Structure 1
Amino acid sequence: MEKHTKTIDAFFEGLSSGSLSRDLFSSEAEASTATSGAMTIERYLGAAKILPAVFVEGLKFERLGTTCQDNRTVVEMRSTGVFRSGEHYTNTYLFLFEFEGELISRVVEYFDVRPVQTQLVPAIQKFMAASEAAS
């Protein structure tokens, strides 16, 4: 359990800062979210890098609870952030982690899709459009 706690803490630190490390994941790791469905871990890591760009001080996570069983850990988190537009964002997530040894082999995000679709996705799209225009 302690090994998983350290890995999970590093996961959320990286997710918040945009520096989520590939080293936390097994070679065959996979990811899934409530809005995007299944994806490669590389795509998941790429999406995570964008988060700090759309929030003034990144997306902050507060742990609300953790449940562990065998190689699985479920973490309930509350996220908060302020978009560059000044609009506030909050959501509650359940992250399911599966492990191979110390490494994450699967991460699944469950969350309220409404704030993601109405706030987060448009902010990311605006950032991507601005980035493309600057290129």
Structure 2
Amino acid sequence: MDELEPLDVEAWFQAVRLLMARAKASTCDLEQQVRHLFHLMQLAPRPLRDFLTPVCGETELEVLLESGALESAALRLIAPSVKFSVARNCDERVLATVNFPGGEAAGFAASAHLASAVVQAWTQSVVLLESHAT
């Protein structure tokens, strides 16, 4: 990933919280939510970048999104060092859990869409990380 200048820490966490609220409220712009999450990863504060770096680059992400592979795109955003799980319950809802290295609490989400569950769990895990750091 190109070295972009990070956002101010407070502004970055605020942007993550806004994306989390948006993801919980609606899945109608799911492609944009996945893209927004990728861009937030690129703009993350430097100390967080080691475990926030997605597996794919922007070109690969765009190819996946343009082909409608939202699930694959969302999963490619999770860095290898991040613990995560995805499962379906008996109601066919996707359950996702994301836990960053050193994180004391995991983000958890349930959604009808895998990509939405991943975005929600990822953003919730970041918010929990912030709350444990303060």
Name the TM-score, length of structure 2 as normaliser: 0.32
Structure that is richer in strand per residue: 1
Structure that is richer in helix per residue: 2
Rg comparison, structure with higher value: 1
